A and B are shown apart, each in its own frame.
Chain A
Amino acid sequence: MYLTLLCLALLAGGCGKHETLVEIGDRTQELRIGNEGEPASLDPAVATGVPEHNVLVSLFESLVFADGKDLSPRPGAAESWEISPDGIVYTFHLRKNGRWSNGDPVTAQDFVESYHRVLMPSLGSQYSYMLYPLKNAEAFNLGKITNFNEVGVKALDDYTLQLTLHSQTPYLLSMMFQDSWDPVPVAVIKKHGAIDDRTNPWTRPENFVGNGPFVLKEWRINSHILVEKSPTYWDAKKVRLNKIYFDPTEDADTAERMFRSGQLHSDTQPPPSKVAFYRKNKPDLIKVYPYLGTYIYKLNVTRPPLNDKRVRKALAMAIDRNAITETILRAGQEPAYFLTPPDTAGYTCQTKIKEDASAARQLLAEAGYPDGKNFPTVEVLFNTLQTHKAIAEALQQMWKKNLNVNIVLHNEEWKVYLDSLRQTNYFIGRFAWIGDYVDPSTFLDLFTTGSGNNETGWSNAEYDRLCRVAANTGNRAARYDAFQKAEAILMDEMPIMPIYFYTQARLIRPDVHGWYPNVIDDYDFKSIYLVPEKN
């Protein structure tokens, strides 16, 4: 073994201290970011995850894009738009100088064909529902109608796109930050295979065509994705980065070490222990900010004793959320006393869960379990992961201490756990929801009757009605009032138990300029540039 070390020293002798990738990148405007995982697909109609989205915002430009600072919709492929007084018809005027990376103009017809493609039942796009605000989009997607002309998408001329909604959707523009709304080069896709084939190889670097500020150059699975500044992009003058490397840093420890050794400018989701360390010792290298997501426990209301609302409330009231965020999570997460993260598009729920152990005991007694007597065995289900286990154990102890009930813990491998949730085959199940767009409806619609993600067996006609009211009104005050009432019902009926609101922790070097934290953690690569750190 000491021979090993000797040889290592010899080998390294030739290496010595080297200029790090970050230092090189600062000189040449090449940004390197840890991207949390290997993107499964770079087809905007097929991709679903965060790693995919991060790359796609550099490669495609929707009608509008999210301003990095405040997430307000800024003119992207469309230079302007009008909204009819009733909020139903949106008319977008596309840029005359918008170009695909092969030089072709970006036209309104491209958008029509792209939306047609997303909604084709045969493509099986998982996020096709993002386009459901369009008139008849859902019916077309589910195969109930087959004539796409009936869907509310029309090209009035080469540069004018008209979208007709089935009802007012005040957050429509912010929905467009999601990749399903990106235009795709339909002619190019057809050249490489069927338009509705999700395995079509058009997103390979050698075939790729996009309309974004960057264009795909290299994609080595589990190694890196490289995008380069696109010379055909209409606003190329403003783009300051020359290249972006996306590293598929699946392992949080590895990513943090890469950041430390100068291989990455930025890395998200470092290990929790490291978050605490950086916040204390190197606060200039870490940013922790709210993230649009809530960690909850779902309660299966079809199973006794959880079919009794008093039991559900007692469980929710008998826990100390602050202890969980402060001692287990330790990365700035906020305790959640309701479902929708505070200040989501200006909405904050007014009804809060009261943490009160004695009132919880009282409720449990009323439900027939005084001092936890005769309380049947209830199981908490979570997917196998250290943090989930730690939280479940803490809750188990709090329930034992405050209610004298025995809760057992059960962990399952990820897909097995998802299957159990889907079949409502659990008592209490861990769940997390990250908002698709910045509006309370992305959270509250989850628990309407028939929502695929409800999975609790809970159904409430008044709740459904309020969510429908909110969906069909353009008046912000009236909408938020409906949301308040709906969330109050949710917090009274308690089919779910909010635990905490997410934060995003990001390691980022001070050399990265023009980057701003936001609740959906969207990159605005057009505004980012690098300035070498002064030593």
Chain B
Amino acid sequence: MLRFITRRFLETIPVLFIIATATFFMMRLTPGGPFDSEKQVSPEIRARMEAHYGLDKPLFQQYLLQMKHLLQGDLGPSFKYPGRSVNEIIADSFPVSLELGCEALVVALVFGLAAGMVASLKQNSAWDHIPMGLAMIGICVPTFVLGPLLISAFALHLDWFNAAGWYFPRDRVLPALTLGAYYAAYIARLCRGGFLEVLNQDYIRTARAKGAGGAQVLFKHALRGGILPVVSFLGPTVAGVLTGSFVVETIFGIPGLGRFFVTAAFNRDYFMVMGSVLFYACFVMACNLVADVVLVWLNPKMRFE
């Protein structure tokens, strides 16, 4: 297993290098620069600002310089927020996204797994159709619709929560539900599919024949095989959920990392784009690796290869 992890880890190095290179050149080839604004500044001032950040150097030299800094773990300064480094912005905002993401994942897993298992056990009954119908709706309703709906109902009409913000513990409820609902729905369907496949296997029939009850079959015999599709789905998903959602963070005014992914590109905040892309890439690869390890552990048919 250690060899497997080491090899996977080494594989990430060229991938990150390619991502960094592509990001660098794509950003620089995009028209418009970080210091363009509706009120034009004089060419002299613009030149000074570009010189301050080394943007006056030849492109390839800038590329080498940035690669050098990246190797040292220095993501560089933010153009949009002078006085703040990209490292600092990520360190400030990632914990918020991480917290929201974890809460959303709990929502997704608790509701998704419960609904999926119940549906698979009571296949083709109301216990199957109703949760699966709701799951379909959950997949179809985008967060930018669900979020405002929840706010309307529970913040504006019932006055149970704040409409936006990230100050009090109760401010976590609506964003976590909004972000978690989609994944809950997806997980419910995957989980139902996985369990149905397992529940039709011979060894389950054997277990049942030997007198095992519903819950025992489900948790003792079927669980390990049944949640395989969910685990492989969770790998990349966890990375996405934990690093923040632009839409949910915008709707609820949450100071997370998700907004920076998008606004940094709009602002042509070159170093911020590079930093957030690489951070996200590392996170996705780490989560995939964990998911693969868990999969092998759950499924003896698979090997570390």
List chain B residues, Cβ under 8 A from A413.
Answer: 32, 266
CB of A261 within 8 Å of the partner chain: yes
B50's nearest neighbour on chain A, judged by CB, is A124
Report chain A residues within 8 Å CB of B92: 220-221
Q: Say yes or no: A48 contacts B39, CB within 8 Å.
A: yes
Name B161's contact: one of A15, A141, A417 (CB within 8 Å): A15
B255 within 8 A of A: yes
Residues of A within 8 A of B77 (CB): 199
Q: At the interface with chain A, which of B9-17, B151-159, B197-205, B275-283?
A: B151-159
Interface size class of B (residues with CB under 8 A): 35 or more
Give Cα A203 to B43, complex, Å.
27
- CB atoms of A223 and B255 under 8 A apart: yes
Closest CB in chain A relative to B81 CB, distance in Å:
5
| Stretch of B130-138, B214-222, B294-302 at the chain-chain interface | B130-138
B253 within 8 A of A: yes
CB distance from B262 to the nearest CB of A (A): 11
**Chain B proximity mask over A116-147: 1 for CB below 8 Å, otherwise 0:** 00000111111011000000000001110000
Q: Is the CB of A250 within 8 A of B89?
A: no
A303 interface residue (CB < 8 Å to B): no
Q: Does B173 contact A (CB under 8 A)?
A: yes
Residues A41 and B40 in contact in the complex (CB < 8 Å), given A4-B177, A220-B255, A254-B253: no
- A204-B82 Cα distance, complex, nearest whole Å: 11
Given contacts A201-B83, A422-B36, contact A16 B266 (CB under 8 A): no
Candidates B49, B138, B159; contact of A1 at CB < 8 Å: B138
In the complex, are the beta carbons of B163 and A260 less than 8 A apart? yes
- Given A40-B80, A124-B52, A199-B82, decide whether A431 and B38 contact each other with a Cβ distance below 8 A: yes
Which residues in B have their C-beta under 8 angstroms from that of A414?
A: 32, 266
A416-B30 in contact given A1-B131, A1-B181 (Cβ < 8 Å) = yes
Does B41 contact A419, Cβ atoms closer than 8 Å? Answer: no
Q: Would you call A419 and B36 a contact (CB within 8 A)?
A: yes
A296, chain B: closest CB distance, angstroms: 12
Contacts of A223 in B (CB 8 A): 166, 255
Q: Chain A 212-233 against B: per-residue CB contact (8 Å), 1 yes, 0 no?
A: 0000000011110000000000
Cβ contact within 8 Å between A257 and B151: yes
Within 8 A of B (CB), among A224-279: 247-251, 253-254, 257-258, 260-261, 263
Say whether B40 contacts A452, CB under 8 Å: yes
Residues of B within 8 A of A11 (CB): 170, 173
B305, CB-defined interface residue at 8 Å: no
Query: With a CB–CB cut-off of 8 A, which chain A residues contact B250?
Result: 250-251, 254
B221–chain A nearest beta-carbon distance, Å = 25
Is A121 within 8 A of B48, CB to CB? Answer: yes
Q: With contacts A15-B160, A249-B253, A257-B156 known, is A2 near B134, CB below 8 A?
A: yes
Residues of B contacting A204 in the complex (Cβ-Cβ under 8 angstroms)? 83
In the complex with contacts A41-B81, A254-B252, A415-B266, A198-B45 CB distance below 8 A: no
B111 in contact with A3 (CB, 8 Å): yes
Closest approach, in angstroms, between the C-beta of B44 and any C-beta of chain A?
5
Task: Check B135 against A200 for contact (C-beta < 8 Å).
Answer: no
Assuming the contacts A415-B268, A431-B38, asked whether A41 and B82 have C-beta atoms less than 8 A apart, the reply is yes
Question: B154 to A12, Cβ gap below 8 A?
Answer: yes
Task: Report how far A498 CA is from B173 CA in the complex, Å.
Answer: 48
B83 and A126 contacting across the interface, CB-CB below 8 Å: no
Whether A8 sits at the interface, judged by CB under 8 Å, is yes
* Distance, CA A38 to CA B45, complexed state (A): 24
* Interface residues as binary, A432-466 with B (CB distance below 8 Å gives 1, 0 otherwise): 11000000000000000000110100000000000
Would you give the 0/1 interface string for B98-122, flagging 1 where the beta carbon is closer than 8 Å to chain A? 0000000001000100110000000
B155: nearest chain-A partner, CB-CB: A261
Give Cα A413–Cα B42 distance, bound, in whole angstroms.
Answer: 23
Contact in complex: A43, B163 (CB < 8 Å) = no
Q: A17-B159, A222-B259 are in contact. Are A124 and B45 (CB under 8 A)?
A: yes
Do A222 and B165 touch across chains, with their CB atoms under 8 A apart? no
Query: Which residue of chain B has the shortest Cβ distance to A16 in the bound complex?
Result: B160
Q: How far is the CA of A41 from the CA of B93 in the complex (A)?
A: 18
Chain A, Cβ-Cβ closest to B260 = A222
CA–CA, A223 and B168, complex, Å: 13
B33: which of A12, A419, A433, A455 is its contact (CB, 8 Å)? A419
A280 within 8 A of B: no
- Smallest Cβ-Cβ distance to A128: which chain B residue: B45
> In the complex, what residues of B have CB within 8 A of residue A431's CB?
38
Cβ contact within 8 Å between A12 and B173: yes
Q: Mark B2-45, 1 if CB is under 8 A from A, else 0.
A: 00000000000000000000000000001111001111111111
B251: Cβ under 8 A from any A Cβ = yes
Who on chain A is nearest to B84 by CB? A221
Q: Give the residues in chain A near B173, CB-CB below 8 Å.
A: 8, 11-12
B184, CB-defined interface residue at 8 Å: yes
Q: Which residues of A contact B43 (CB under 8 A)?
A: 452
Set B45, B84, B137, B170: member contacting A126, Cβ < 8 A: B45
Task: Give Cα distance in the complex from A121 to B42, angstroms.
Answer: 11
Task: State whether A415 touches B45 (Cβ < 8 A).
Answer: no
**Interface assignment of A470: CB less than 8 Å from any CB of chain B:** no
Nearest-neighbour CB distance to chain B for A381, whole angstroms, equals 13
**Once bound together, how far apart are the Cα atoms of A11 and B160, in whole Å?**
10
The residue among B32, B46, B93 with the most chain A CB atoms within 10 A of its own CB is B32
Q: A250-B250, A258-B164 are in contact. Are A1 and B135 (CB under 8 A)?
A: yes
A1-B131, A124-B48, A222-B93 known; A418 vs B38 contact (CB < 8 Å): yes
CA gap between A220 and B95 in the complex, in Å: 13
Residue of B nearest to A39 (CB): B81
Name A260's contact: one of B156, B165, B254 (CB within 8 Å).
B156
Q: Is the CB of A263 within 8 A of B165?
A: yes
What 3 A-B pairs are tightest by C-beta distance, nearest first? A415-B32, A452-B40, A222-B255
18 contacts between A and B (CB under 8 A): A2-B134, A3-B111, A4-B107, A12-B161, A16-B160, A17-B159, A43-B83, A121-B44, A124-B48, A142-B42, A199-B82, A221-B92, A258-B162, A258-B164, A413-B266, A422-B36, A432-B38, A455-B40
Beyond A222-B253, A452-B43, 7 additional contacts (C-beta under 8 Å) are: A1-B131, A1-B138, A43-B82, A43-B83, A124-B46, A128-B45, A416-B30
Interface of B toward A, CB cutoff 8 Å: 30-33, 36-46, 48-49, 52, 77, 80-84, 89, 92-93, 107, 111, 114-115, 130-131, 134-135, 137-138, 148, 151, 154-156, 158-166, 170, 173, 177, 181, 184-185, 250-256, 259, 266-268
